[in-house]
Amino acid sequence: MSPLWIGTSWKMTKTLAEGRAWAEGLRDHLASTHDGQAPARVQPFVIPPFTATTTVRGILGEDSPVLLGVQNAHWEDEGAWTGEVSVPQAKDAGAQVVEIGHSERREHFGETVETTQLKVAAALRHGLTPLLCIGESAEVKDAGGSSEFILAQAAGALDGLSPEELSRVVIAYEPIWAIGEKGRPAVVEELVEPFAALGAQYSGEVTGLLYGGSVNLDNAADLLGIEHVTGLFVGRTAWRLEGYLELLRIAAAHAAA
C-alpha cells in the first residue's frame, strides 16, 4: 500500500517564531517516538508561507521524512514577475512540493485551469511534486455537477503529461463548500461519488488522492476510509501541532489496520 499523505498548509498564518515552534515540535516528536522517521506508511508534509520555507527546512533537516512545500510558484524559472516566486527558487529554499490551484488562489488571485497546467509542468520540470488542488462550489454541487467539474479541472491541469510525469502528481480534492471558517464539514456520503470518479480516472496513476476541507479529529478516520482516499490535506485542525500529531496517529492506525 502506498503511504497516506497527511499534511497541512499554514495558509497566511504564523510568525517565524510560531512556525519554528511547530516545526521543532514535530521534529522532536518524530525523534522521540519514531526514531526520527515518519510513522509507518504515512507521508507527512507541511506547507508554510514562503517566509518560513528556509527556516522550516533548517529545523527539519535535509533528510527529514517530512516533505516541505510552498503554497504557490510561478511557471517561469526567472524574470520580471514582481511579487512572484519561481519553482527553482522554491527548490533552492528547500521545497519538495508545490501546491497549485487552491480554491483561495483561484477565487482571489486569478488562478485558472491554464495557469495550473503551466505550474504543474514547471514543478515536474524541476523535480518537485505538484500538489494539484481541485474542488467545486456549492452551486455546482447543488446542481449535481461535482464530479464532472472536478474531473475537468484535473484534466485541464494534467492532460498531456506522460504516465511517468502523472505518477509524480498528488491531487487534493477540496470542495469549496467544505473549506475554512465558512465551510461545513462534508459527510462521507457526499464524497463517495467524487472520489469514485477521481479514482476511476487517476487511482494508481498518481502518487495520491487526498481529501481536504474541515478535516478534524472527529472525522479524519472516516474520511480516510472512503474508497480511493490516500491522504488528508488539512488547514485549521493542523495549525496547532497537537492537532497535527493526532492526525498522524489516526493515519498510522488506519494504515496499520
Residues that are catalytic: 102, 174
Does position 179 interact with ligand 13P (CB under 6 A)? The reply is yes
Which position among 36, 183, 199, 243 is part of the footprint of ligand 13P (CB under 6 A)? 183
- Give the Cα separation of 125 and 88 in Å (integer): 10
Does position 72 interact with ligand 13P (CB under 6 A)? The reply is no
- We find the least distance from the C-beta atom of residue 132 to ligand 13P, in angstroms, to be 12
CA distances from 77 to 74, 103, 119, 215 (A): 7, 24, 11, 34
Which position among 134, 213, 228, 229 is part of the footprint of ligand 13P (CB under 6 A)? 213
Q: Spell out the residues 6+ positions from residue 213 whose beta carbon is closer than 8 angstroms to its own.
A: 135, 174, 175, 177, 178, 179, 183, 185, 186
* Footprint (CB under 6 A) of ligand 13P, residues 104-163: none
Instruction: Using the rule CB under 6 A, give the single segment among 12-20, 57-65, 159-167, 173-181 that binds ligand 13P.
Output: 173-181
- Give the Cα separation of 173 and 80 in Å (integer): 33
- We find the least distance from the C-beta atom of residue 27 to ligand 13P, in angstroms, to be 22
| Contact criterion met (CB below 8 Å) for 56 and 92 | no
Q: What are phi and psi of 210, to 5 degrees?
A: -100, 155
Does position 71 interact with ligand 13P (CB under 6 A)? The reply is no
Q: Strand 129-134 vs strand 231-234: parallel, antiparallel, or unpaired?
A: unpaired
Which position among 214, 229, 248, 254 is part of the footprint of ligand 13P (CB under 6 A)? 214
Set of cell numbers at residue 194: 467524487
Instruction: Using the rule CB under 6 A, give the single segment among 52-60, 146-154, 174-182, 197-205 that binds ligand 13P.
Output: 174-182
Which position among 29, 91, 236, 249 is part of the footprint of ligand 13P (CB under 6 A)? 236
Q: Spell out the residues 6+ positions from residue 40 whose beta carbon is closer than 8 angstroms to its own.
A: 252, 255, 256
Instruction: Using the rule CB under 6 A, give the single segment among 14-22, 73-81, 90-98, 229-237 that binds ligand 13P.
Output: 229-237
- Give the Cα separation of 88 and 76 in Å (integer): 9
- Give the Cα separation of 44 and 37 in Å (integer): 10
Does position 215 interact with ligand 13P (CB under 6 A)? The reply is yes
- The residues that touch ligand 13P, with contacts defined as CB under 6 A, are 9, 102, 174, 179-180, 183, 212-215, 233-237
